[in-house]
Amino acid sequence: MAGFNTATPIIDYDAFIFDLDGTLLDTADDLGAALNNVLAAHNQPTVSADVYRPAASNGAIALLEAGFGQHWHTHPKQATLRQQLLTAYADNIAIHSQCFTGIAQLLIALEQQQIKWGIMTNKPEFLTTPLVAAISELSDAQAIVCGDTLNVAKPSPLPLLHTAQLLDVDPSRCLYIGDAQRDIIAAKAANMHSATALWGYIPSEEEALSWQADFNWQSPIDAFNHI
């Protein structure tokens, strides 16, 4: 694990909990491909990565808004377009998606130090399950909670509290890592420490720092100071 700081930790935790899109996985190109599939089918110009990447953590509606622009809000078939996007994505869910650089090493280090880790994402289960199954580095997740596991999703703290319960760890001994403001809000409400994944689909570093997470990490390597 050359290049990683495995010195005496500053802070230790019993569990790390991760958001999925934009934190563990770079899924933007598969999401963007699904969006462009829908745009092309409706004779709309396709969009480049600089358009779809910022929306990649925020779900189907955010992607469609990014793709259709001002036309989205008056489009008569919004529900149909959303379903077409989800179908196109589900059919090609892990063509380009992969762990961000450093994630695999971080997960190995957590397991070596017997620190539990799990996933809490707002992505629905029918998409989360096949995506996680396709990424070998995520096969040892000890808990996976999706956006529809409960009847609420982030920024509610309840899915995070449920994840901690599945991991059998007190919430105050958990660290939640995510790339969206709702992640930090949920962590604070769940009495968990939080870290912003600045390598993810953040709107800007300045805005991300304003969320006031406990930590702001430029890369997964930074986590090695806290395990």
Q: Catalytic site residues?
A: 19
Distance from C-alpha of 117 to C-alpha of 110, rounded to nearest angstrom: 7
Q: Mind giving me the DSSP string for 116-182?
A: EEEEE-SS-HHHHHHHHHH-GGGTT-S-EE-TTTSS--TTSSHHHHHHHHHHT--GGGEEEEESSHH
Rg of the chain in Å (alpha carbons): 18
Q: 113 by DSSP, 3-state: which?
A: coil
- Candidates 111, 121, 96; CA nearest to 32 is 96
Residue linked to tokens 């189907």: 60
